[in-house]
A and B are shown apart, each in its own frame.
Chain A
Amino acid sequence: MAPIIELRALTKQFGKGKETVTAVDAVSLAIDPGETVCLVGESGCGKSTTGRMVAGLLAPTAGEILFEGRSITKLDSTAFRRYRQAVQIIHQDPYSSLNPTQTVRQIITAPLLHHKKVKNQAGSESRALELLEVVDLTPARDIIDKYPHQLSGGQRQRVAVARALTLEPKFIVADEAVSMVDVSIRVSILTMLTRLKQEFDVTFLFITHDLALAKYFAWNGRITVMYLGRIVEDGPTQRLVSDPRHPYTQALLAAVPEADPELAHHKRQIELRSAEIPSLLNLPSGCTFHPRCPYSVDGQCNVRRPPLEAIAEGGRVACPVRQAERVTLLVT
């Protein structure tokens, strides 16, 4: 099966001259239809920039995005419009992504009417009600005439999802979609997204800084870890969280606070050589993680950019030094 989305050496730079920042640096990633991929990393790693490029909101500086095998930069305007409809994005903050002066009805019917997904007002209303039920906003009739401020954070995010569904997308980029939602409600939104995946054949790129959430959402999918604009490791979720190979992935997993006292007190402590993330304006040479990496090899890591190589256990690791070493994350 051809990938639904494929990124080939995708690169995005911001700024000019000496002030140039490479936010995304030659990222290559293929996502199959129906697959769930989580893009994780800390702030500034380029995960959101990647997501915005995939959603067609930002033009890449170099590299290519292929949608169903065709490069999106080579599409004519009609085909590009179709692409923009097929790929939707859900933003982190439903407080700012929904127009506060519009009712839920206006928010959802506008794209339906504009893109002629329905014949008339009546059609748009019944479709809007249907979509609200799909995202578990029931009874839909009670919700449809409300303004965003009359809804809770969780309900607002559901409206944002319903709006994303209006154009029957094949691919949804969910950028920190549950980060601002209360802990007790998060899971129900993730469960709903999982249901959409099956019912509507939508493929998800789920972007998050929360590894525990990524593990839960993509348990049968894949996690891709980014650091300073590059992919450092990816692989099937179950392999990646139990047997991470890149020292950065290990440091990240070891650092995640655990909501379980036993686990919290038995996690391996990985000491990095430096706690500070280097500036994107002044990236370290070679492997960008080498100034912080406890295993850095002089003359290798600080010189050559490590290739992202496939490993037998599944996925790819950009660390020739450590890719064969297992590290357990719990200690006595």
Chain B
Amino acid sequence: MAKAALEWHTVQNSTPQPPLSLDNVHVSYATRKGKVQAVRGVTLDLLAGESLALIGESGSGKSTLGLAVVRLLPETAAVAPGSIQYRRGDREVEVLKLTKAELREFRWRDCAMVFQAALNAFNPVLTVWDQTWDTAKAHGWQDKKAVQTRLVELLRFVQLDPKRVIDAYPHELSGGMRQRVLLALSLLLDPQILILDEPTTALDIITQRTIIKLLRQLKEEQHFTMIFISHDLAIAAELADRVATMYAGRVVELGKSNDIFYRPRHPYTLGLIRAVPTVTGGFEQLFSIPGSPPDLINLPSGCKFHPRCAFATDRCKQEEPELATVGPAHEAACWNWQQVEAELQVKPLHRGALNVLADILPAAEVS
């Protein structure tokens, strides 16, 4: 199918300021067993036009953080302290102080969230069109024709046949089609920021590729500002400009995608990369990270990763490190990041993969 060009989104992120700034954000859940500290002090700027991946295992706080930005956390969650500043044009608002009515506006128009394409992201008794019209009405659209035109345009963009999809109920669509419908719906009100939570998880491989291509198109042609939340490192490698690794509710490393994948400085990032195979290239010995993710009610002392870390020293057991500069536009929260760097000089990462590339590419492109 021909690539449908999207005419909208022309006022492209001309603001030099980051559209989203998180400052010392904390989120905790009240449970019967105690307070679960899901996010513990995240400070992060989302730059205009960039795609940022939040990676980490289950319980690292990445999804909670995403939900906090659009204020979709359950009632048991408390966001305090912290601040989330959102900017568009001259407007600057504190997301955590938005009223219910303002939130409605903010959620779809400014910042849209795309959930994992489970059936429960849809109302099962509404067709795609009903769902779209409901959303549009709620945001003040009255012109049915205009909404219809827009939906058709968006469905074409996500490479779906509008005729097949528009009157379909969610259960009549495959997982990949549902994910694409969700993506189209999220673009309905031309948001400035898209937050995608596990956008390809549970989809078949070839469908995953279709979604990745679409997201790349949004990123490269429409310059959308996006946050990807995923446990899958491959999503970060495929789509992110910058990557933030999260562990036990904190960002423990933040940097450009290539720095994170080839020059990680936090032992946890290194551990994740060494645990994940690639399909192309020769055999690479993998290693898992010992132990299991921490209990968020009873967190370990000091650096929360120290019980699983091969680089841990006495200091790590007592003091929790903050993010510190470890290279150009590259930060890590580790007392011993220099040891990680030294180890990587002895045992570099993904050598196999680079060798494969070197075989078929001119040397200049690999370096």
Please, what's the 1-or-0 string for B277-298, where 1 marks a CB less than 8 Å from any CB in chain A? 1111101001111101100000
In the bound complex, CA of A328 to CA of B357 (Å): 11
Given contacts A263-B353, A272-B206, contact A332 B361 (CB under 8 A): yes
Q: Identify A261's interface contact among B206, B258, B281, CB under 8 A.
A: B258
A216 within 8 A of B: yes
Chain B residues, CB < 8 A from A277? 174, 204, 206
A76 within 8 A of B: no
Q: Identify B365's interface contact among A152, A185, A258, A332, CB under 8 A.
A: A332
Q: Which residue of B lies closest to A44 (CB)?
A: B204
B147 within 8 A of A: no
Chain A residues, CB < 8 A from B276? 183, 212, 259
Given contacts A42-B205, A183-B231, contact A264 B272 (CB under 8 A): no
Once the chains bind, are A256 and B205 in contact (CB under 8 Å)?
yes
Query: What secondary structure prevails in chain B residues at the interface with A?
Result: helix
In the bound complex, CA of A260 to CA of B233 (Å): 8
B235 within 8 A of A: yes
Q: Which of B193-208 contact A (CB under 8 A)?
A: 200, 204-208
A257 within 8 A of B: yes
Once the chains bind, are B360 and A328 in contact (CB under 8 Å)?
yes
Please, what's the 1-or-0 string for B205-237, where 1 marks a CB less than 8 Å from any CB in chain A? 111111011000000000000000001111111
Once the chains bind, are B286 and A264 in contact (CB under 8 Å)?
no
In this complex, how many residues of chain B approach chain A with their Cβ under 8 Å: the count is: 55
In the bound complex, CA of A328 to CA of B280 (Å): 10
Given contacts A266-B357, A328-B360, contact A253 B280 (CB under 8 A): yes
A192 to chain B, nearest CB (A): 10
Please, what's the 1-or-0 string for A183-198, where 1 marks a CB less than 8 Å from any CB in chain B? 1111111110000000
Given contacts A186-B288, A216-B277, A267-B280, contact A259 B237 (CB under 8 A): yes
Please, what's the 1-or-0 string for B327-367, where 1 marks a CB less than 8 Å from any CB in chain A? 00000000000000000000000100110110011100110
Chain B residues, CB < 8 A from A190? 286
Given contacts A184-B275, A209-B204, A330-B360, contact A261 B292 (CB under 8 A): no
B186 within 8 A of A: no
Please, what's the 1-or-0 string for A232-274, where 1 marks a CB less than 8 Å from any CB in chain B? 0000000001000000000111111111111110110100100
In the bound complex, CA of A252 to CA of B356 (Å): 19
B21 to chain A, nearest CB (A): 26
Once the chains bind, are B261 and A183 in contact (CB under 8 Å)?
no
Q: Which of A109-129 contact B (CB under 8 A)?
A: none
Once the chains bind, are A191 and B288 in contact (CB under 8 Å)?
yes
A154 within 8 A of B: yes
A219 within 8 A of B: yes
In the bound complex, CA of A188 to CA of B277 (Å): 13
Q: Identify B280's interface contact among A189, A263, A275, CB under 8 A.
A: A263
Q: Which residue of B lies closest to A331 (CB)?
A: B360
Given contacts A241-B279, A258-B237, A260-B237, contact A154 B292 (CB under 8 A): yes
Q: Identify A43's interface contact among B204, B213, B232, B236, CB under 8 A.
A: B204
In the bound complex, CA of A330 to CA of B276 (Å): 19
Chain A residues, CB < 8 A from B159? 275
Q: Which 9 A-B pairs rank lowest in CB-CB distance, beginning with the nearest?
A: A257-B234, A255-B209, A188-B288, A184-B289, A187-B288, A259-B233, A42-B204, A212-B277, A216-B277
Q: Mark A residues whose CB is within 8 Å of B.
A: 42-43, 152, 154-155, 182-191, 209, 211-213, 215-216, 219, 241, 251-264, 266-267, 269, 272, 275-277, 328-332
Question: Would you mind naming 20 contact pairs between A and B with Cβ atoms under 8 Å apart?
Answer: A183-B57, A185-B288, A186-B288, A187-B287, A212-B277, A212-B279, A215-B279, A219-B283, A253-B279, A255-B208, A257-B200, A257-B234, A259-B273, A262-B357, A264-B234, A264-B237, A264-B238, A275-B207, A276-B177, A328-B360
